Every structure is written in structure tokens, then in C-alpha cells.
Amino acid sequence: MKRLETGGRIDREAPLSVSFDGTALSAFQGDTLSAAMLASGVTVVGRSFKYHRPRGVYAAGVEEPNALVHLRDGARHEPNVRATTTEVFDGLTCTSQNAWPNLRYDIGAVNNLFSRFLSAGFYYKTFIGPFRNSTRFWMMCETFIRKAAGMGRGTYLEDPDSYEKRHVHCDVLVIGGGAAGLTAALAAGRAGARVILVEQDSELGGAILSDPVGSDADNWRISVTKELGGMDNVQILTRTTAVGAYDSDTFVLIERVSDHLKAPENHQPRQRFWQVHAKRAVLASGAIERPLIFGGNDKPGVMLAHAARSYLNRYAVLVGDTIIVATNNDTAYQAAFDLGTAGANVTLLDARQSVDAALLAEAKGAGVTVKTGHGVLAAHGRGRVSAVEIAPIDAGGRATGPISRVPCDTLAISAGWTPSVHLWTQRHGKPGFDDASALFLAAPKETDALQTAGSVNAVETLEEVITQGFAQGAEAAKQAGADGAAGICPAAFAARDWPHDPDVIWGVFTRDGKTKGKAFVDLQHDVKVSDIDQAHQEGYVSVEHLKRYTTTGMATDQGKLSNMNALSRMAEQRGLRVPEVGTTTFRPPFIPTAIGALVGHEHGQHFRPTRLSPMHQWHVEHGAKLTQAGAWMRPWYYPQSGETLTAAYIREAAHAREHVGIIDVSTLGKIAVQGPDAAEFLNRIYVNGWKTLQVGRLRYGVMLREDGFVMDDGATARLGENDYFMTTTTANAAKVLGFAEHLLQTAWKDLRVHVTTVTDQWGTIAVAGPKARTLLSKVSDADLNREAVPNNHFVTATIADSPVRIHRMSYSGELAYEVYIPAGFATRVWERLIDAGTEFDLSPYGTEAMGALRIEKGHVAGPEIEGRTTLKDLGLEGFAASKKPFVGSVLRQRPVLDDPTRPTLVGLEIEGQVGAKAGSLLFPLQGETQGHGDGWVSSTTYSPALGKYIALGLLNNGKQRLGETIRVVNFVGNETLQAKVTSHHFFDPEGERQNG
Amino acid sequence: MVDPVIPLHANLVPGRYGADGDTAVQIGTRRISSLWQIAGWSDFEHAAQPLLVACGLAGPGQYDETQQGPDVTAWRIAPDKILLEGPPDLTDFASDSLVVLDLSHARTVITLNGAEARTLLSQVVSVDVSAATLPVGSFIQTGLHGVGVLLQARSQNGIEIFVPTTWAQTILDILCQNAMPLGYEIMSPQTIHAAT
């Protein structure tokens, strides 16, 4: 292997510092990592998945099964990176993987000695029995097996890079920047369509990039690319792979924005996820060269013929001095000719018995020796192929004559080409089988928005590739509505044809049909021909089962290299034709894709959107500790000089009972219910009646689901004749609004009612405590005395020059008001209350103290309204009207919901100085603590008013058990407490304080 | 009455952020003078006509086209709903056939201006926001980072995003994060006021 002095598309003026396993490589700008490895004489680049066999570079593109490496260090470390698609950059470091202690002496290679015990499905058969308690033994083994499994090792460090998503809509998406894709984009672009052209390579050209620089092909590429580059309506995305095709003609592209750099620069993302919505798409994804199967076909030095040509013409790397080219088709001849011209001693073995005379003459002219009717039976060599066994073979690939050993340092192979129909099959299902070419091909209908062009259709000549691409591009543009003229198709350049031969061999075997040594159909997963045979012997007939049993074609390969040969072997074993065996399903993504690219910015802080109260900034500036409440960030507590949560909430709750406190309750769901039938709507959705509610008043309501369980509760105010202002719990705001919309648009279309969320319109402050009225009277112009504004009434007023509405209602059990303020004025009103509250010893309190106050009062909240509780369970049955239907009114009457032994809401006074944990189970004082117990703790707190820990719980037959002492068992924390069952109205059960 | 606080003012720190080079996007906000929703039922268009005439509008308008009156901008956001920016108190127009709702504080406007304003938008919404599909004078309702928003194209390179107020900060954050590769500028409050 050597780097040539001339040729290639590399920049010899730009040498780069690149290392593999600590050894410097010869690398230039324009190289791939695999090219640099080959140029530097690196023959073994990795160890195989299962048997840890030494492996070398096999391909030059995304299909590479062997050259997988650890790339970069630290937080940017990435495992399983294909060296063949990694552009080198200055400072690139990479290391081998799946080898210990090093690539050369890998202890895992011992697996190769036990390969007969590690055949297909060995783990299904091995990890059972044969002794008693074998399961425990195998579970212990699993620890070690898991450590040995897989290839590269990931990093646990946080990814320092960003990933971006972008949504684009275009008329025509062209996938593939080879000859067919270029002409498709050209035609569509000329017609005036909005075109996106996607190419996974760093340059446009596809297979043309493997032609010599300055060749007719290269000049053609430059000409077409230049014209495309001048079109404003054509967006060219290189380093971008179409990885998925989905319903509604949506495609996913992954653009490797910065992967060719040491690190992203100038705030650019590492990768960009494109979601493309295309009216039409042209798949010009080409074809992947197919391996030939024989013994030792995985030795380093064995590679695909077209890859050898790519390394020569694109990277100026001659992969060997003595090269055997083994093929069954015409296309490999060009590789042989180019390698011979570059100075290699090339012998070509053609499995076919006869070859076109003109081709043979051309070979002779290029100095290439051709042996027809011959094949490679086995490759030999340690660390690198050093010789091959060749033999005359028959039309079935079996040796028919004497075997001879021929020395060589490289074996370039080609068993034909496999069209890359992956994206088409992702979108439309299994491909069809074309008898003429013996290939699985896409089978688009004329009306499909996704059409195919070029080698993916297995067309035989370059002229067809180009004209088909052009025609599909023009048609796609027309179908997408572009009415311009596509003009004349660029003329084709000279290129080798791909004449089809449906009877070509796929492997070379001994006289008795066996391979000579290990012969791999899937190099990535170490699946041998003998594994396919074994699966057949064990009764596997479904190709999908075969795939999973042997693992052939799974994971990142997705059938790129392995599929056809595995199917061919299975077909032979079953005595069927390949199409009768069928093919497996190709799934997205087409290439391995970083999870970061799928996630984009939606992680960490932006994993989901965050909702903030209009007073949020004040809370932050005043040291509030925040907590998540659904999407909201809410003040949890306001610590004073290092206070703990517990100390702070106890202080805040006690303070509100003694003086006055304010809390930001803007998170309450708020819904405007408007229309002449608004009262009837409320009457139907709530269990209680609404038709008598007068303007200026508000009422507590409970609503059920249709199955009779409680869904939500809240207060609704009547603002005007046709205007109501409904509040919901914070958690259920969206659910209630959606439920109401659903009913109005389906079951209740007779009602002239609109519901609109006004949660964002109003900031809300709850003012609670004995001095609440005094404080609000000071800051507002409203008359708030008891007679003017009794409980469940509201008034409009002005505070700090801001219009507000003051509702008299209490969630804490104290004399309390809710002040509704247009959001833009909310902070101003809050600050006014804080300022004016100084003389009343006002203190803000957070959600933890709010919880303590409501538990003391015995109000239900989310932990009690959790979807399994009924009105009766919660002691709310008295609210349900008996003379009107409402949502849930029928199904709530089911006997099972009326069972008196159901868990019902009770209070629990905890004995001792430790509080109960929510979720703890309730058991009688005597007996076993097994099963689900008699109920559970729903909410828990320390009660400053009572001076003890209290809780709310749902207890079987609870109302009959007041006064009983029970056990509160926290199985998770291994803790058992005792509690006295009480009424859930711990504090001021008569309501004297809130009605005061 | 005092001026309301623009929700994002506290967190819009003027300056140049992200990638070097030409400033691709300017991000800012502007004040909403008033915002009302009117809604009705099967006779909506008839019921709304007097109000629309009073606002200087020709009719209910199209579902994707912003209507511009002398002082009022209108968006028909549903067959029986129109959103109006700029009108005076509409309470007097309420009837059994028409309901009106003050949403002046319920939305915050985030403005995007610059050559890459639509590119930035394409990173956060899945609908087509190209000039061909969202031309100047048009609007669309869609989801942005999981939040329902209304987008209107004020100019070739100028987009306004109407965001529910309590979600405005999270939308601003995600926009800024997405704008880093483009390079963006947060407009100063003075500039914002001048623009309103």
C-alpha cells in the first residue's frame, strides 16, 4: 500500500496531523480516515464483533463493516465511527475498539478458537439449564457477557455540542448527488421548481468521484455542478444523508455540519436534522457493490473492487502491489485496469466461463491477466492476505479442477451490485424482484410522489442513468407545479456498462458445495455461510426469522452488504428462487444517527416548554426556591437566612394563619365561558346547579368524567349575563378546556357557548389571613366589609392604578381573597401589596405552605382527585344535584362506586415526630401488613396550627372508623407509623375564620 | 391607568450574540395596545358585521390573510372567531349572537427581523414559512416548541409571533438558542419602543 505522488482529489499542500492508536498517519486535506490508514500501511483496523478476527478496510463508503473506530477523546468521544466516511481534520485522534489489550494482541481472539460453539443462536441455547439453579448462574454470567458484548464504548460525559432541527418544504427532493441525481436536480431546477439536492459525500458526483481527476466524467460533473450552483431555486446539501422516508412524503436528512472539523466553530451545530416535506422526490441513491463469498473472505487485504478504485483515483492510494481481482461481472474490470495502470500487478479472475472478447482485449492492453471460469476458493494470510487458493469453477461456483495457490497482497472482489432501495422500502414496503437482473428493485407506481432513477433501478448504461435522472427530475418538477422548460439533457460521458446476468454466482465452493474455511455473509456481525445453513437445518424458513436468529443484516448494515448473499444461500438450501425466499425489511435510519440530532435543542432546560407567572421575575429576584408544577415553575418557598424547606413552609403557613400572607396563584386554570347558553353548559358539565347564580357571585363546582369519577373542581364567577369565569386546578386546566371544547363540538352542538383560555390574561394573587381584609382595603378602592362582599362574591376595584377583580373565597381556611389582575399589571399589584403589607406583617408564601394550609383545612387537591375517586369517596356527594343530568351522572350510580366499604377521605393524625410519606399504605393496628392494605396516604404535612404531623388519606369504610388507631406503612422507606383516624377537616371545621 | 409591563423586557438584554458575521436576525418585542377576540355561532358573520365596520374592516376576512384597517389589525382564527388588535373596548358590541373577550394581556409579541428570520423560524416550526407560502400580509397558527402561536409576516424579512404570555419566556429562550448559529441581536428597549 502506498500513497502515489500524483493524482487524487487530496490537497498535498495541506498535510494533517492524524493518529490511530497513537501512531501518526499520512493524511492530507481531502482524505478519509480509511484512506489515511491505507496510505500509512495500516492493514488491521479493527476486530470483528464476535470472533475478534483481525479486519481491514473493506469498502469506501457507508457500507463499511470493518473499519469502525473510536473517534475523538473526552466529551466528544464517539464509538463505532466508520473510518470510510470520516473526513480527516488536523488533530484527529482515533483508536481501535473491541480489542484488549491492543489491536494486535487481542485476548478476545480466543473466541475464534471456540467458534463452533458460538454459532447462530448460541445464546438462545446456551443460557438455559442444565442444572438446578442454573438461572442464577447464567444471570451471574450475564454481567460478564454484557461487558464483552457490543463494539465501541460510549462516553458518559455530557455532549458539549449542539444539534439543530430545521423544517423545509420543497417541490422536489433529489436524494443522491451522483450522475442520476445531478441530472434530476438539473432538470427540476431548470423547470423552476424549488429543489433540494442531498448528497452524503462532501462533494457532489457520487461514483464519478472515483474516476480520475480531469477525466471526461470529472469534467461532466464539474459542468453540471456549476450550473446547479448558479440556480437560486436549488439548495445543495452535501455531507447530508437522507436517513428516513416516511408517510406524507416526509423525509429526514442528517447534515454533518461540523463533523469534518475538530470541533464546531463559530456557534455552529455539530449536526442538523432536516425534516423535509417534498411534493415530489427522486431517489437516486445508486447501488452498493456486493461481496463475493469464499473461505477467509474477511482477511485484511480483501476489499470491494470499486473501493480499491476509489482509494486509487480519489485519494491517490494504491492498495497493493500484487492484486487479485475476483469478480463475476464487467464492472470490476475498470478497477483492474486502473490498478494495473497505476503500477500494480493485477490478475483478474472472472467466474464466468466466457467474457466479451473486446473486454479481454482491453484487459490485455492494460496489462491485466484474465482467467475466466476461475474463482477464489480461499484467502490466506496472518494480519493480511498473502495468498489465495484459486480453482476453475463451474456455473454454480463449485471447484471443478486443481486448486493452485497464488501469492498476492490484495484481493479486490465484486459479485455485482445491490441497488440502494432502502428509502423506497421504508416508505412503500418490500421491493419487487426483477428477473432480468436478479435484483430486488423499487417498484413505484406512476402516481407515487417518490420515484427512482439511475443505478438504484439497475439500469445498464450510463446514458440510461443520466437520461432517466433527467426525465424523473423534469417530471417531478411538472407534477409539483413548476412549468418551466427543463431543456436538453447533458450528454453522457464514456463509462463502463453494467450488463445484467441473472445467473451469476455469489460464492465459490469446494466440489462438495462447502466453503473452504470460514466464509462470512455478514462481516459486521460475524455471520457465516454455515450459520445460514444451520438455521435452515433447524427449521427456519422465514427470512425475517433467519435475520433475527443469525443477526445477518441487522443493526447498521440493514442489508447493505449482507442481504443478497444470505438470501441466496437460504434459497439454495430451501430449493427455492431468491424472490420466493423474499427479503427482509430495511428500517430507518439508513446510517447510524446521533441521538443528539434527533433531540435537537429539546433537552435539559428545553426538554419541554416552561410556563412562568407574570410575577415570576419578582419571585426570582427575592430568593424564592422554585418547584415544577406541570409546565409551570412556581415559588416553592421563600427561605430566610439559610432556612430549610421544612422550616420555611412551617413558618410561612403559621404566619398566614396569624397575620396575612400572599401567594402567586396565577397558575390556576382560567376559562372564559361565554354565550347565551353558558349557564346551561355549566349545569351540564358540573355536578351542581348554576342557573341561579347571580352576576357578581361565584360558586364552587365539581365536575366528573363520563365514567363517574371526579375530574376537577374549582370556582366559577358570573361576570355578566352571558359571561362566566371558570377556574380549574393548575394540573387540569388544559384537560378541562379540551373536554369542554370536545363536548361543545360534538355532543352539545346545540349550545351557543364559547370557551376560551384566559389563564394568560390574568395574574392571580391569593391574600389569606386574619388581616387580609384590612390589607386589601388599604390598597384598593373597594368596600370589602363582610356585608358588602360576603363569601363567594366578587367586586371590581383598582389597586396601584391597575384594574382588578377581587373574589372572596378561601382555599386556606382563612379569611381570604383572590385578586385577579390583567397580567401586565400583576407585578405592580404584587409589589403594592408587599409595600403596604409591611405594617400588617405581610409575608409571601410558597406552594409548600399552601399545601400545608389546605391539608389542615381538609380541601382536596390533585393527590385526592387522581382519577380513581368518586364524589362520595371525597365527601363531596352533597354537591351533586339530583334533578338534572350532568356529565357522569349516570355512571356514578354504578353499584361498585356506591359500595360503602370503598376508601373514603379521612384525616390522619400521625403519632410521634415523623411525618407520613404520601403513598404509604394503611393497615389496621393488628394483623399482617401484606397486600394493598385498607387504603393509602394521599397528602401529608406538618400542621403548625395543630402542632403535629397530619395527613389526608383514603381509607376503606373510612367514615365508620373515626377514632380508630391504624398503622401507616411505608414499604419503600421500611417505616411504620401509627395514626388516629379523624375528620379531614382538621382546622376550623365550622369555617368561622374564612367566613369572618 | 398605568402602562402594562411587557413580559419579556426583563430578559431581553440588548446585545449581539452567537455566530460572528453579519447579524442574521434581530429579536425583540413590541407592545400590544389592545387585543380582543370576538366569537359567534352560525350567524357569526352577520352578527360581527357592525363591529367590523366600526373597526374599519371590510368583513371577517380570510383564514390566512391579515386584515388591516386604519387602526385595527384582524386575523380570522376560526370560522366563528376573529382576533383584533388595536380596537377600543368592544364590550358594547356583545349580544346573544356575539361574545367579546379582552385578551390584551394574554399574548406577547416576539418580533424577528433580518435576512434569516424565516430560517430561524423554520428551525422551530414545522409548517412552511417560506415567502412563497407565508407571504407578506399573511398569517398562520401553529405550534412552536409545543406552544400554540400565531405567526404573521409583516415584511419579507419580518415575522411577528403572538405567544401566550406565560409561555413567552420559554419561546424566547428556544428562539435565541436556535439563533446562535445564525448570529442574532437583541434589540434595545429604546429601539423596541421606537418600533411600536
Q: Which residues of A touch B102 (CB under 8 A)?
A: 761
Per the domain annotation, does A123 fall within a domain? no
Cβ distance of B2 and A722 shorter than 8 Å? no
- Is residue B167 within 8 A of residue A632, CB to CB? The reply is no
Of B3, B133, B170, the CB nearest to A609: B170
**pLDDT grade, residue B189 (50/70/90)?**
low
SS3 (DSSP) at A718:
strand
Q: DSSP E strands: which ranges in A328-466?
A: 345-350, 369-372, 374-380, 387-392, 404-407, 410-414, 417-419, 432-434, 439-441, 450-452
CATH pick for B9-32+106-195 out of 3.20.20.450, 3.30.1360.120, 3.90.1170.10, 3.30.390.50: 3.30.1360.120
CA separation for the pair A847, A638 (Å, rounded): 10
Number of A:B CB contacts under 8 A?
147
SS3 (DSSP) at A26:
strand
Residue A798, H or E segment: strand A794-799
Q: Where are the domains of chain B?
A: 9-32+106-195, 35-102
Within this chain, do residues A281 and A300 fall inside the same structural domain, yes or no? Answer: no
Q: DSSP E strands: which ranges in A210-286?
A: 234-237, 240-246, 250-255, 271-283
Q: Which residue has the cell 448504461?
A: A461
CA separation for the pair A749, A677 (Å, rounded): 11
CA separation for the pair A225, A211 (Å, rounded): 16
Q: Which residue has the cell 371525597?
A: A874
Within this chain, do residues A690 and A734 fall inside the same structural domain, yes or no? Answer: yes
A616 touching chain B per CB within 8 A: yes
| Of B15, B27, B13, residue with least CA distance to B158 | B27
A249 touching chain B per CB within 8 A: no
Within this chain, do residues A734 and A796 fall inside the same structural domain, yes or no? Answer: no
pLDDT digits (tens, 9 = 90+) for B45-101: 999 999 999 999 999 999 999 999 999 999 999 999 999 999 999 999 999 999 999
Q: What are phi and psi of A941, to 5 degrees?
A: -165, 170
The pLDDT of residue A130 is: 75
Per the domain annotation, does A511 fall within a domain? no
Cβ distance of A825 and B122 shorter than 8 Å? no
- DSSP state, residue A399: B
Cβ distance of B4 and A822 shorter than 8 Å? yes
Q: Which residues of A798-828 are buried (b: 16+ CB within 10 A; e: fewer)?
A: ebbebebbbbbbbbbbbbbbbbbbbbbbbbb
| % residues pLDDT > 70 (chain A) | 100
**pLDDT grade, residue A147 (50/70/90)?**
confident
Per the domain annotation, does A377 fall within a domain? no
Of B7, B101, B171, the CB nearest to A614: B7
Region A541-562: mean pLDDT is 88
Q: Is the peptide bond before A264 cis (omega within 30 degrees of 0)?
A: no
CATH pick for B35-102 out of 3.30.70, 3.40.462, 1.10.287, 1.10.3470: 3.30.70
Residue A897 has pLDDT above 60, yes or no: yes
The pLDDT of residue B192 is: 46
**pLDDT grade, residue B195 (50/70/90)?**
very low
**Set of cell numbers at residue B158:** 419580518
Per the domain annotation, does A776 fall within a domain? yes
Within this chain, do residues A278 and A331 fall inside the same structural domain, yes or no? Answer: no
| Of A599, A90, A55, A498, residue with least CA distance to A288 | A498
Please provide the distance, in angstroms rounded to a whole number, between the alpha carbons at the two ends of chain B. Answer: 19
CA angle A735, A737, A742 (to 5 degrees): 95
The pLDDT of residue A408 is: 97
H-assigned helices in A687-825: 733-745, 772-779
CA separation for the pair A376, A350 (Å, rounded): 10
CA separation for the pair A666, A852 (Å, rounded): 19
Of A267, A759, A760, the CB nearest to B19: A267
A49 Cβ contact partners less than 8 Å away, ≥ 6 residues apart: A98, A151, A524, A525, A526
Decide: residue A139, CB within 10 A, 0-12 exposed, 13-18 middle, 19+ buried: exposed
| Of A703, A677, A698, A755, residue with least CA distance to A881 | A703
Q: Which domain holds residue A786?
A: 626-667+761-853
Q: Which residues of A touch B81 (CB under 8 A)?
A: 754
Cβ distance of A162 and B166 shorter than 8 Å? no
Residue A829, H or E segment: helix A826-836
| % residues pLDDT > 90 (chain A) | 88
B81 Cβ contact partners less than 8 Å away, ≥ 6 residues apart: A754, B37, B38, B39
User: Which of B105, B162, B163 is best to mutate for the A interface (most A CBs within 10 A)?
Assistant: B105
pLDDT digits (tens, 9 = 90+) for A430-485: 999 999 999 999 998 889 999 999 999 999 999 999 999 999 999 999 999 999 99
**Set of cell numbers at residue A154:** 460510549
A617 touching chain B per CB within 8 A: yes
CA separation for the pair A58, A62 (Å, rounded): 11
Q: Would strands A439-441 and A374-380 be described as parallel, antiparallel, or unpaired?
A: unpaired
Complex ipTM > 0.85: yes
Per the domain annotation, does A167 fall within a domain? yes
A611 touching chain B per CB within 8 A: yes
| Of A677, A719, A678, residue with least CA distance to A698 | A719
The pLDDT of residue A497 is: 82
**Set of cell numbers at residue B92:** 358594547
The pLDDT of residue B196 is: 35
Residue B1 has pLDDT above 70, yes or no: no
Residue A173 has pLDDT above 90, yes or no: yes
Within this chain, do residues A636 and A779 fall inside the same structural domain, yes or no? Answer: yes
How far off is chain A from B68, nearest CA to CA, in Å?
Answer: 24
Cβ distance of A722 and B96 shorter than 8 Å? yes
Per the domain annotation, does A540 fall within a domain? yes
What total number of domains does chain A contain?
Answer: 7
Cβ distance of B164 and A752 shorter than 8 Å? no
pLDDT digits (tens, 9 = 90+) for A675-692: 999 999 999 999 999 999
The pLDDT of residue B193 is: 42
- Using CB atoms and an 8 Å cut-off, which of residues 759-798 of chain A contact chain B? 759-762
Per the domain annotation, does A360 fall within a domain? yes
Please provide the distance, in angstroms rounded to a whole number, between the alpha carbons at the two ends of chain A. Answer: 95
Q: What are phi and psi of A431, to 5 degrees?
A: -75, 165
Please report, for residues A1, A435, A849, A890, A961, the alpha-carbon distance to residue A940 in angstroms, rounded to integers and kept in the order given.
Answer: 75, 73, 12, 33, 19
Q: Which residues of B touch A616 (CB under 8 A)?
A: 169
In this structure, what CATH number is given to the domain that contains residue A837? 3.30.1360.120
Q: Which residues of B touch A730 (CB under 8 A)?
A: none
pLDDT digits (tens, 9 = 90+) for A728-762: 999 999 999 999 999 999 999 999 999 999 999 99
Residue A794, H or E segment: strand A794-799
- In DSSP terms, A168 is beta-bridged to A276
pTM across the whole model: 0.93
| Of B145, B195, B167, residue with least CA distance to B26 | B195
Within this chain, do residues A796 and A737 fall inside the same structural domain, yes or no? Answer: no
Cβ distance of A267 and B181 shorter than 8 Å? yes
pLDDT digits (tens, 9 = 90+) for A375-428: 999 999 988 999 999 999 999 999 999 999 999 999 999 999 999 999 999 999
Within this chain, do residues A680 and A695 fall inside the same structural domain, yes or no? Answer: yes
Region B11-27: mean pLDDT is 93
- In DSSP terms, B68 is beta-bridged to B73
- Could you give the dihedral angle defined by the CA atoms of residues A852, A853, A856 and A859, in that order, rounded to the nearest 10 degrees? -100
SS3 (DSSP) at A867:
coil
Q: Which residue of B has its CA nearest to A666?
A: B166
- Could you give the dihedral angle defined by the CA atoms of residues A15, A16, A20 and A22, in that order, rounded to the nearest 10 degrees? 100
In this structure, what CATH number is given to the domain that contains residue A725? 3.30.70.1400
CA separation for the pair A781, A796 (Å, rounded): 9
Cβ distance of B101 and A676 shorter than 8 Å? no
Neighbours of A195 (CB within 10 A): 32
Largest CA distance in chain B: 58
Within this chain, do residues A215 and A231 fall inside the same structural domain, yes or no? Answer: yes
Of A606, A617, A722, the CB nearest to B177: A606
Neighbours of A872 (CB within 10 A): 20
Amino acid identity for residue A977 in this structure: L
In this structure, what CATH number is given to the domain that contains residue A278? 3.50.50.60
The pLDDT of residue A605 is: 87
Cβ distance of A754 and B164 shorter than 8 Å? no
**pLDDT grade, residue B194 (50/70/90)?**
very low
Within this chain, do residues A774 and A918 fall inside the same structural domain, yes or no? Answer: no
Region A32-45: mean pLDDT is 97
SS3 (DSSP) at A135:
helix
Please report, for residues A119, A389, A838, the alpha-carbon distance to residue A620 in angstroms, rounded to integers and kept in the order given.
Answer: 62, 78, 20
Largest CA distance in chain A: 115
A513 Cβ contact partners less than 8 Å away, ≥ 6 residues apart: A398
DSSP symbols for A470-499:
HHHHHHHHHHTT--S---PPPPP-------
Per the domain annotation, does A661 fall within a domain? yes
Q: Is the peptide bond before A402 cis (omega within 30 degrees of 0)?
A: no
Within this chain, do residues A27 and A58 fall inside the same structural domain, yes or no? Answer: yes
Within this chain, do residues A846 and A773 fall inside the same structural domain, yes or no? Answer: yes
Region A16-29: mean pLDDT is 97
